[in-house]
Chains A and B, each alone.
Chain A
């Protein structure tokens, strides 16, 4: 059981991130007003991801404890984006913040994930699952991207809690 959870949570997170991507893009495009700004917001994301990746690497071999917070933080960002009805005045600034935070967390997560035993199995599963989900979604009438973003945010938070509980149990059983 322990092993299964350990395997599945990162898979849920990676698959979810790719599936949610088109919806996130739609939101980001809407709040960025121009293509230039849209592109720059993505560049910021990329730099932040590189930073997160390096940050993980530079911490050496003890970083497992952080990964639950990473799940929860990513979840909170998606919930904020999806759920909060923000004023048009503040939207681009919020988009910038989310790009930095998400980029950093995703970079960090990926660096951690590559160090896991299950990483290579995940890679193949991940591509297959994403393909199937995207086909399934294409048949759905999408009400609004914000619903998907919020749901994914909640799933991520649940993953974080799940991971904490799992680890507590694991410690108690030792």
Chain B
């Protein structure tokens, strides 16, 4: 014992101890340092923090009767209500000037997992992560989610989100039943054959047609997949995708397009998830992995020029390293997101997504090459990543982005926050939207509205019907948000 104490008092030992402790601390410093959401001073923002607005109050929703009372009172007193899930939308979809915000995050119970019927009934404030934790022990998995599990069910259904699945259609189609609180304060239980067509407007309704209380979602098996990766030329992607869609053995798919100067929009990495028809035996879900390494690589890419080429090469190594590996369906639906964290003052990173009919992809890419700078190192408007996903035709919602089978190009953009820089970003994104529209495409609505009203109307020709139904079903205009103000007021 004496020897140990003596040893521990050696200066070099203490030095090493401090060094080791420092490494432990550095490793545990969180990557996500930004705070967004509702502040105590009554200011609200969402994920990008771009549209701060003063609100009246935030109500933490716990039960449906309390919620019903708030909505009925708002109808009487002419108040405005917005609904917030995890606030990853980026265009003021979750709040309104001087309005009440319903914070749904604690309305998150898993009500029932039905193993035989393969369904889960869940309150709308639960996240996909909560649902995955509940269904994985039964060997079940979700049919459609985003690529990550960091969103609420209510928030995801209200934008009719999509992800890597290529077999189950739009997310809205995976809803079997739901309970909603209508804008006039009625609680309604809805099924797919509801004659009043509430589902058509609530799903993909951006929180404007009342509150989703709970939903029953169809599930599928938590199958084990083998990952197949490949590098291909952009010009060959269309035919590759057709082969993927025809091959029923492939359950999920996505791709990545190079934005590095050396291979700008010429090269792609494709990732397929091949069925093994084996149900996963493991019940645990994977946690975020390799976040620091991924963030380091992305930060290199953010510098542009040769470093962006290097980033693309590093992705090649990654893609090769996962080729042939196996993964469960649930794990394939919960990719890492924290590595995207970006906190440089005076700048912002935003997402945009453009949808293009599958068969127009090649010509569209050629047009994009003419529009975008190949090397954006010295530009203010920078494109850091483009991911491609398949979005099957949506027959169900009122504002469908997939008017036919589409490819969605998710774009990660960085730009400055000075007035001039925002104006430039707006011009670039509007031009990009124009090109998309020329090819019969659309753009995704949960993100910051750089687009004009005219572009919105062209992308969503059914907007008039949406607006009329809104006026009919919400006669007092209770449910509003900044997104609605921007496009439809």
Contacts and interface: CB of A to CB of B under 8 A. Distances in A.
Contacts of A100: 18, 22
B26 interface: yes
Top 9 closest pairs, chain A to chain B, by CB: A51-B14, A92-B29, A44-B21, A54-B11, A48-B18, A47-B18, A47-B17, A89-B343, A40-B25
A36 B17 CA distance: 18
Interface in B340-358: 343-345
Contact of B11 (A43, A55, A89, A93): A55
Contacts of B26: 93, 96
Contact of B33 (A33, A44, A51, A103): A33
B321 interface: no
Given A40-B24, A87-B345, A96-B29, 19 more contacts: A37-B28, A37-B29, A40-B21, A40-B28, A41-B25, A43-B21, A44-B22, A44-B25, A47-B14, A47-B18, A47-B21, A50-B14, A51-B17, A54-B11, A87-B343, A88-B34, A88-B343, A91-B33, A104-B18
Contact of A51 (B18, B25, B28, B345): B18
A44 B33 CA distance: 21
Interface string A99-110: 010011000000
B30 interface: yes
Q: Is the interface of A mostly helix, strand, loop or mixed?
A: helix
Interface in A63-122: 87-89, 91-93, 96, 100, 103-104
A55 B17 CA distance: 14
A15 to B, nearest CB: 26
A89 B33 contact: yes
Interface residues of B, number: 20
Interface in A121-143: none
A7 B25 CA distance: 38
A11 B447 CA distance: 59
A58 interface: yes
Interface in B49-75: none
Residue among A37, A51, A91 facing the most chain B CB atoms (10 A cut-off): A51
B288 to A, nearest CB: 16
A51 B21 contact: no
Contacts of A91: 33
Nearest to B9: A54
Nearest to A97: B22
Contacts of B290: none
B343 A34 contact: no
B15 A96 contact: no
Contacts of A33: 29-30, 33
Contacts of A48: 18
A93 B29 contact: yes
Nearest to B31: A89
A92 to B, nearest CB: 4
B349 to A, nearest CB: 13
Given A54-B9, A87-B343, A89-B343, A37 B18 contact: no
B15 to A, nearest CB: 6
Contacts of A44: 18, 21-22, 25
Contacts of B24: 40
Given A50-B14, A51-B11, A54-B14, A37 B25 contact: yes
B36 to A, nearest CB: 13
Contacts of A96: 22, 25-26, 29
Contacts of A37: 25, 28-30
A100 B21 CA distance: 10
Interface in A1-50: 33-34, 36-37, 40-41, 43-44, 47-48, 50
15 contacts: A40-B25, A40-B28, A41-B25, A44-B18, A48-B18, A51-B11, A51-B15, A54-B10, A54-B14, A58-B11, A87-B344, A89-B33, A91-B33, A92-B29, A96-B29
Contacts of A58: 11
Q: Which of B10, B14, B15, B24 has the most CB of A within 10 A?
A: B14
A95 to B, nearest CB: 9
B28 A36 contact: yes
A41 B162 CA distance: 42
A100 B26 CA distance: 13
A54 B29 CA distance: 29
A50 B17 CA distance: 10
A91 B22 CA distance: 15
A157 to B, nearest CB: 25
Nearest to B17: A47
B5 to A, nearest CB: 12
B300 to A, nearest CB: 16
A104 B18 CA distance: 10
A31 B134 CA distance: 35
Nearest to A33: B30
Interface in A149-169: none
Nearest to A51: B14
Interface string B59-99: 00000000000000000000000000000000000000000
A111 to B, nearest CB: 12
Nearest to B345: A87
Nearest to B341: A89
Interface in B379-421: none
A103 B21 CA distance: 13
Contacts of B29: 33, 37, 92-93, 96
